[in-house]
Structure 1
């Protein structure tokens, strides 16, 4: 907002410039900044820099200083304002829908009864954020209240240049993992383990088991439950020994759960310590810069908190606030892996549907191309027959002309008649059989035709119809509704 009056400092600087900038009454501080502000109001004019700096007052500056003209210019009557139109197209605002109970029940039923268990809808990001995400969140809350053992999971995938399918959302229902009562009791510490899992013997000897003697019993309980529940889930638990080398004749192997390498590491607390005499002597002897202070040294003391690593992607830790967090988080890890597996199967299913659809279009394109190639083959055969018959007719005319001339040896004419009779193509004419289409030879043509075809049997996308709903604003008075069909 533009200023409507000058402050005290600006008035002092303006009066000093109007007086001719006398050196004996120079305003204190950085008066040049205030002068630049006055210049922006067209009250003074400034030239030069440093010692050559000069400022002169304008006629408007004299009037403002005298109080005969306001600082803020008044707009002339009839003056039109300039409207700047952006060059880009504005994105229209789309309010998020407020799903009703009927919509929530309809969506939850469609997801539950989706073919092959995968609910898919084609939509862009704006439609997903404004219409589908609120409905999915409402359905998720409804499912958690009616059936806490199941979880509604959903995601949105954007179309990329390497993907075959358009932007779409994908949803489904996944049952949460619940450990066996024996495993839950072992994690809680209320039940002892009679016999550990056989893989624990290998794990204690491998390189990924780095815990102290005090934390070893709890680490073994966690690993025992992990291996037992992984086998219940259908995952593989195996030990892979490393190949012996000359510099490592007895290497340590690793244990894999599924495709993830398992590591159990005990966390440490760090405490600063004083350097030893030997460390100080080594620093003074080998340091390049003795003026720089020696780096701080720390002792790393195991604190009993464990970290469980699954390959390079997932890691579960105990925390200071919850030193036994792994006992509760392990079950959630299995649920997350089940959700990841669900989306992986959903993407593989969609990929298979697209592959089958493309194969059907290729088969249909092969029939189209094969028909065209067969027609060209028949036309070529017919053209050759026509050429042979026309040549035969020319020979007959030639022999008739020789016979009519009367000067040709009759034996030669008889020989010509015999040759014509032998080479007559008419008795040998038959309908040709087109050869089978060579798909490899016509591959590019088949693919080009397949891209133009539409597969009516493709059924990867779900369909849902929301009943007419009464809106909360003006529709409540008029009684009209909105029907949405996807």
Structure 2
């Protein structure tokens, strides 16, 4: 294969040198590689009256001559090779090589400003674009500063290669959770004095306070402030996700509310004799389907501002909340900075509108 070209591009270049004979390619995907070759100045593609055609350039002929020459010939000056008619290869010569769909997709994205809309078809020969996007993500050929996104819309399957935001590439400093609360923050001290605010079991209560202590300390080191939430007692279980926050962190003038919840495990409920009797006697009686018991897992719900990484963090297998505190602290700062930018943009828009109005009055 020629240096600088992949196997598919080399095959298309050889095919163009033979006059683009029919019966070589089973579909029109060769045009993607042809665009890549044209961008390198190796071929020239034309389309007139709906007829697609490609021809070698002088650079393309020299490229082929170098690839077909022996090592001794390559070291010296390339001899003048008269044009000759090549016999088209057997129609099954090219399809024998395995098609690299990832290279093909990335080439096509590069030729279309990193954005494609593919038709969604059905049938045995339809292309599964979601599968191809997934394979491209796992190929290791996408730069670490970019990500490949795909979704189905009313226009078709949209594929986009975008730059990853700088905040996602930033290396975060781990937030250390203290082993003991020797000097609790005022927010933590208030939650200690009034344990009914969170209604956590003893198995997670102390750990929750230490995590809050670490988060509040980390955000205050960035110039933010923390205050106690307005709630006095925990709400009923069915309303707990919509409850008032347990504490609030103010970043760049934006209030970020935090609600700390204890996860629950559920198991199938086994009806008792009394429940069966009550359900038979009273038609409005409902036997619960599941039993819920408090788990040793915590969940932080974040409200306020524009979400970046997410709005909820929970204990995960192999990744407890302690390991996610750096992301939560970054989320607070990102939401505050975003709110500050929006306020400045609004102020600039108001100033521009005021100046425009004053200019109109002056002209009048």
TM-score past 0.5 threshold: no
User: TM-score, normalised on structure 2?
Assistant: 0.44
Higher helix share: 1
Q: Which has the larger radius of gyration?
A: 1
User: TM-score, normalised on structure 1?
Assistant: 0.34
